[in-house]
């Protein structure tokens, strides 16, 4: 069963910890313990998820729920994801691009704050921001990046200058607010907690066209999304490719009673919350004992649901060696 924050509040955990269910310290402690349990290579139950997407571009920006790509297949053919250093190997394939090619190498491309880069061809582009509800009107969002000449954008605030441009957030039905600057790239977004999603568009004023490049959920404040390059797919391919993958699910901060946890094991959460509280009190020995018990409970849960498949899977890949092939196992 998937747990919500309210499930934790209604459990025996608040009484065992010594905090009332309405105490803000309980939510802070839950967030701390939850993050410590999810981070790491362990294959806990419900911490991995299968995705299938269809793409026509080799650059994929994953949703915020994706921490990393564990395994991936292109059109049912599995490939081993490579990290960002792969392109710099002296005996490797060299720098890859999304302009197509003869291989489907899967390469990690770090993170981005938008899911589509600004189209720098043709006319210069401004940015447009808006919300879908009136309650967000009057808030602002700061967009950091470079202008059309490649200069870092700064804006005056009173007597000082700050990085980026501060853009007002209007309601969708209101007159749209467009950036004062032309942008060639966006490096970071600083956004307040809002009532609804915030939309970000690039806008070509001369052509009268716009294209959505960002969509931010209400609780996102510093959005970052993982990116993957599939080198064998062009930037504007007419052929749709199917990407199937297993991903490690990302941790998100818990705010509301209906927010879901990745960890659904109440006894393990209780142990870890006890441990973090002991650690904050300076008792590192007790913290390690509670952490060890929490991990054992999660191990047993994974074995309960996955059986013998609960362990980390073996990766097998054929490497060319001389005139033949040797399979390397890791």
pLDDT digits (tens, 9 = 90+) for 252-297: 999 999 999 999 999 999 999 999 999 999 999 999 999 999 999 9
**9 lies in which domain range?**
5-39+271-306
- Both 302 and 172 in a single domain? no
Total length of the chain: 330
Residue 216 has pLDDT above 90, yes or no: yes
How large a percentage of the chain has pLDDT more than 90? Answer: 63
Buried b (16+ CB within 10 A) or exposed e, 223-252: bebbbbbbbbbbeeeeeebebbbebbbbbb
Q: How far apart are CA 322 and CA 88, in angstroms?
A: 23
Q: CA 6 → CA 26, 139, 213, 267, distances in Å? A: 11, 29, 34, 16
Query: Taking residues 22-32, what's their average pLDDT?
Result: 96
Residue with tokens 């809002």: 194
Q: Which pLDDT band holds residue 318 (cuts at 50, 70, 90)?
A: very low
Is the pLDDT higher at 226 or at 87? 226
Backbone angles phi, psi at 113, to 5 degrees: -105, 0
Half-sphere CA count of 266, side-chain side, radius 13 A: 15
pLDDT score of 93 = 74
Residue 301 has pLDDT above 90, yes or no: yes
- Both 108 and 244 in a single domain? yes
pTM (predicted TM-score): 0.83
Q: Which pLDDT band holds residue 328 (cuts at 50, 70, 90)?
A: very low
- Both 279 and 151 in a single domain? no
Residue with tokens 């938008």: 114
- Whether 97 is in a domain gets the answer yes
Q: How far apart are CA 272 and CA 279, in angstroms?
A: 10
pLDDT score of 235 = 59
- Both 143 and 80 in a single domain? no
Q: Which pLDDT band holds residue 326 (cuts at 50, 70, 90)?
A: very low
Residue 22 has pLDDT above 90, yes or no: yes
- Both 184 and 130 in a single domain? yes
Residues 241 and 79: beta-carbon distance below 8 Å: no
- Whether 171 is in a domain gets the answer yes
- Both 199 and 142 in a single domain? yes
- Both 94 and 145 in a single domain? no
pLDDT score of 102 = 52
- Both 143 and 198 in a single domain? yes
- Whether 330 is in a domain gets the answer no
Residue with tokens 């990085």: 163
Query: How is 200-238 classified by DSSP, letter by letter?
Result: EEEEETTTTEEEEEEEE-TT-SS--EEEEEETTS-TT-S
For 72-81, 115-124, 174-183, 307-316, which range has the lowest pLDDT when averaged over its residues?
Answer: 307-316
Mean pLDDT of the chain: 87
- Both 212 and 229 in a single domain? no
Structurally, the chain folds into a number of domains equal to: 3
Q: What is the DSSP letter of 252?
A: -
Q: How far apart are CA 100 and CA 207, in angstroms?
A: 29
- Whether 157 is in a domain gets the answer yes
For 65-74, 235-244, 278-287, which range has the lowest pLDDT when averaged over its residues?
Answer: 235-244
- Whether 203 is in a domain gets the answer yes
Residue 122 has pLDDT above 90, yes or no: no
- Both 199 and 131 in a single domain? yes
Dihedral, 72, 78, 84, 86 alpha carbons, nearest 10: 170
- Both 131 and 212 in a single domain? yes
Compute the Cα dihedral for 276, 278, 282, 283 and give only its sign: negative
Query: Taking residues 229-243, what's their average pLDDT?
Result: 74
How large a percentage of the chain has pLDDT more than 70? Answer: 88
Buried b (16+ CB within 10 A) or exposed e, 10-23: ebebbeebebebee
- Whether 265 is in a domain gets the answer no
- Whether 16 is in a domain gets the answer yes
Q: How far apart are CA 313 and CA 296, in angstroms?
A: 19
Residues 234 and 102: beta-carbon distance below 8 Å: no
pLDDT score of 309 = 60
- Whether 329 is in a domain gets the answer no
Residue 173 has pLDDT above 80, yes or no: no
Residue 76 has pLDDT above 50, yes or no: yes
Q: Which pLDDT band holds residue 59 (cuts at 50, 70, 90)?
A: confident
Is the pLDDT higher at 7 or at 235? 7
For 28-42, 93-107, 150-164, 184-198, which range has the lowest pLDDT when averaged over its residues?
Answer: 93-107
Residues 6+ away with beta carbon under 8 Å from 179: 126, 127, 128, 129, 143, 165, 167
- Both 173 and 130 in a single domain? yes
Is the pLDDT higher at 319 or at 60? 60
């Amino acid at each position: 069963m998937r747990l919500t924050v309210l499930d934790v509040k209604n459990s025996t955990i608040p009484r065992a910890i010594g905090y009332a269910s309405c105490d803000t310290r309980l939510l802070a402690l839950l967030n701390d313990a939850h993050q410590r349990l999810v981070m790491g290579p362990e294959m806990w139950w419900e911490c991995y998820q299968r995705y299938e997407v269809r793409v026509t571009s080799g650059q994929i920006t994953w949703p915020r729920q994706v921490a990393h790509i564990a395994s991936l297949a292109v059109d049912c053919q599995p490939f081993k994801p490579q990290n960002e250093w792969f392109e710099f190997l002296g005996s490797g394939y060299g720098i890859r691009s999304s302009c197509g090619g003869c291989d489907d190498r899967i390469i990690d491309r770090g993170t981005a704050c938008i899911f589509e880069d600004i189209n720098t061809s043709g006319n210069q582009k401004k940015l447009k921001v808006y919300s879908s509800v009136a309650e967000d009107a009057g808030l602002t969002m700061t967009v950091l990046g470079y202008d059309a000449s490649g200069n870092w954008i700064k804006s005056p605030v009173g007597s000082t200058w700050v990085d980026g441009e501060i853009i007002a957030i209007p309601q969708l039905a209101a007159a749209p607010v467009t950036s004062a600057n032309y942008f060639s790239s966006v490096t970071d977004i600083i956004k307040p907690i809002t009532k609804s999603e915030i939309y970000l568009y690039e806008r070509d004023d001369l052509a009268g066209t716009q294209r959505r490049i960002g969509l931010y959920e209400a609780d996102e404040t510093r959005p970052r999304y993982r990116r993957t390059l599939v080198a064998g797919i062009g930037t504007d391919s007419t052929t749709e490719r199917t990407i199937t993958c297993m991903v490690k699910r990302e941790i998100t901060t818990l705010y509301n009673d209906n927010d879901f946890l990745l960890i659904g094991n109440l006894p393990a959460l209780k142990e870890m919350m006890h441990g973090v509280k002991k650690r904050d009190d300076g008792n590192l020995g007790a913290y390690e004992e509670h952490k060890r018990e929490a991990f054992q409970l999660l191990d047993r849960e994974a074995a309960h649901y996955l059986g013998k498949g609960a362990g980390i899977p073996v990766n097998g890949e054929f490497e060319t060696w001389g005139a033949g092939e040797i399979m390397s196992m890791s």
